[in-house]
Amino acid sequence: MDQRDEQEFAEYFAARREAVRRTAFLLCGDWHRADDFAQTAFVALHRRWRKVRDKQALDAYVRRSLVRAVIDESRRPWRRERFVDEVPERPSGDGEVADSVATREALVAGLRRVPPRQRAVLVLRFLEGLDVAAAAEALGCSEGTVKSQTSRGLDALREALGDSIDDLRPAS
């Protein structure tokens, strides 16, 4: 890449790094691995920078790279995620801050118990705010699949969290 391309990439990187890291964190539940995944996605983008110039396309490319990296790694035998029966212990404490921290950790722990692909759908839709069509494009699947995966993912998340988070209880 020439100087100008490098400058443009650096600006995009600075603008999007934190958002990509947060998405990666909710996809994998660990900040160290999240950084690895985010870096992998940015490296892939850097290598194809000249071919992906549209701003919207940049975001979609990074999102797709990130989701694929997380799902691919979850399939590797030596890094395959294991489901556990018990949600990790919640931090004890009183007050609003403690509740907030507990809610946060409960959600992250609950997400880790949701199958990777359903988790990716939930993160793309509720953290990234993508609609069904955009999530389908990022995941390379149909919109119907996104809808069904969203429904199953929410069920799995509710089941994982139990009554930990009130907002996840079914409306009925």
Partner 1 sequence: MDEHKLAELFRDAARDAPPPSFDVGAVRTASARATARRRSAVAVGAAMAVVLVFGGLVVTSDFMRNTSGDSAAAGSAQDASSPNVSPFGASEPEVLSENGSPDRSGGNPPKIIPEDPSTQGDEPSGSADRTKVGSAQRGCVEVDRELAVALADELSVANADDASPAAANCPSDARGASFLVRDGDRYGTVSAVIAPAGTTGLVPDHSFVDASAKTRGGQELYVLSRSEEGSPDEPFSDDLAGLAQRLAARF
Task: Say whether residue 148 binds partner 1 (CB under 8 A).
Answer: no
According to CB under 8 A, which residues from 22 to 51 bind partner 1? Answer: 22-23, 25-26, 31-32, 35, 38-39, 42-43, 46-47
Count of residues of this chain found to bind partner 1 when the rule CB under 8 A is applied: 39
Task: Say whether residue 126 binds partner 1 (CB under 8 A).
Answer: yes
| Range 153-160, long-range pairs (CB < 8 A, 24+ positions) | 153/114, 153/115, 153/118, 153/119, 153/121, 153/122, 154/122, 156/113, 156/114, 156/115, 156/118, 157/110, 157/111, 157/113, 157/114, 157/122, 160/87, 160/109, 160/110, 160/111, 160/113, 160/114
Q: Can you tell me the distance from the alpha carbon of 31 to that of 22, in angstroms, rounded to the nearest whole number?
A: 8
Task: Say whether residue 165 binds partner 1 (CB under 8 A).
Answer: yes
According to CB under 8 A, which residues from 82 to 101 bind partner 1? Answer: 100
Please state the length of the chain. 172
Q: Which stretch binds partner 1 (CB under 8 A): 64-72, 74-82, 84-92, 118-126?
A: 118-126
Task: Say whether residue 104 binds partner 1 (CB under 8 A).
Answer: yes
Q: Can you tell me the distance from the alpha carbon of 155 to that of 151, in angstroms, rounded to the nearest whole number?
A: 6
Task: Say whether residue 143 binds partner 1 (CB under 8 A).
Answer: no
Interface residue with partner 1 among 3, 4, 14, 89 (CB under 8 A) is 14
- Residue 92 CB, nearest distance to partner 1 (Å)? 18
Task: Say whether residue 145 binds partner 1 (CB under 8 A).
Answer: no
Interface residue with partner 1 among 71, 81, 87, 103 (CB under 8 A) is 103
Quick one: 1 or 80, whose CB is closer to partner 1?
1
Quick one: 80 or 169, whose CB is closer to partner 1?
169
